[in-house]
Structure 1
Amino acid sequence: MFLELVGTLVAGLAIAGVVMALNRFTGGRLPRWLAPVAAGCGMIGVTIASEYGWYTRTRANLPETMRIVEEVESRALYRPWTYVAPFVGRFAAIDAGSVRTNPSQPGQRLVDLYFFGRWAPVTKLPVLVDCDGHRRASLAGGAEFAADGSVAEADWRRPPPDDPVILATCEA
């Protein structure tokens, strides 16, 4: 976040410098207000480009085993352009390489679900998926396994049939 702020300020100064140089080459014919207005517009442009490019840059840096299961688009009143073209501000992905199975519970899989946010740290949540029963349970508070390999006291949820977490985990 700090580096983006510095980059935005440097872009504003650079654009103001270009306008001031143009003014000098034209013999002072440009209005005096043009340099600060150009700097402000440039800083807004850099900020917008950074917001729209964050998801693409983050997705490109993910390992090949990560599969994105949900994208959350961001719209805000103080950014009116996002109503025309929203940007992805958060997303969730599973690590297909972390899928674990238990031979005594072949229909169940344990996977790590990661949550990414524009200005938030990455968080990891272990999720138990029952592919046969089409249900899943969050293991945020830890898990206790029974003797047969099942998870004791799991808080099972029945999501819609097209739940991306279950579909991606069961494919892995």
Structure 2
Amino acid sequence: MFLELIATFAVGIGAAGTALVVGHLSRGRLPRYSAPFAAGIAMLCYVVWSEYTWANRTLSTLPDSVEVVSAVEESKPWKPWSYIVPQVTRMMVLDRAGVQTNPAAPEILLADIYLFGRWAAPMMRPQLVDCAKAARADVSEVALADPSQAEWIAVGLEDPVIEALCQS
């Protein structure tokens, strides 16, 4: 967040400097308020660009084996443009390369789910997935040893993780 603030100020200073140079080259034909106006507009445009490209920039740093299974789009009152085009603020990502099966229970899948939030640290949540029952369970030592002892939650076939793992 701090680096993004620094980048925003750098964009503003660059835009103000460009406006000052253009004003000098035009022999003072630009109004005096053009530098702060250019800085403000450039900073606002950079912040909007940064917010809307966050999800794609985050995904570009991940391996090709990941798949977005759920993305949350939000609109905020202090970002009125987000009512026109909502922005992605959270994502649930499945690592397909890491999906495993237990030889003792081959119908149960073990998958790593990553949770990304715009201003939050990423989290990894390993999940047990039972496609036949459309249920998920958080991984624990007991659940890994004996999946029948896991605390299963029936999520239904509409659950994004169930759809991604079981219907493909």
TM-score by length of 1: 0.89
Gaps of 5+ in 2: none
1:171 to partner: Cα distance: 5.5
- Structure 2 match to 1:44: 44
Counterpart residue type for residue 143 of structure 1: E
Aligned to 2:124, what secondary structure does the other structure show? strand
Counterpart residue type for residue 150 of structure 1: P
- Structure 2 match to 1:33: 33
- Structure 1 match to 2:71: 71
- Structure 2 match to 1:163: 159
1:66-123 deviation digits (Å, cap 9, x = unpaired): 1211001121000000000111111001111221212221211111111011111110
**Pair 1:103-2:103 in alignment:** yes
Q: Is the 8 A contact 2:135 2:156 kept in 1?
A: no
Cα distance change of structure 1 residues 126 and 151 upon mapping to structure 2, 3 Å threshold: farther
- Structure 2 match to 1:2: 2
Number of equivalent positions:
168
Tell me, in whole angstroms, the C-alpha distance in 2 between the residues paired with 1:75 and 1:151.
Answer: 41
Q: Is the 8 A contact 1:90 1:118 kept in 2?
A: yes
Gaps of 5+ in 1: none
Q: CA RMSD in A?
A: 1.8
- Structure 1 match to 2:141: 143
Greater RCO, CA 8 A, separation 6+: 1
- Structure 1 match to 2:134: 134
Tell me, in whole angstroms, the C-alpha distance in 2 between the residues paired with 1:99 and 1:106.
Answer: 12
Cα distance change of structure 1 residues 46 and 72 upon mapping to structure 2, 3 Å threshold: same
Aligned to 1:144, what secondary structure does the other structure show? helix
TM-score by length of 2: 0.91
Identity of aligned residues (%): 40
Tell me, in whole angstroms, the C-alpha distance in 1 between the residues paired with 2:118 and 2:69.
Answer: 17
Consecutive aligned runs of 4 or more in structure 1 exceeding 6 Å deviation: none
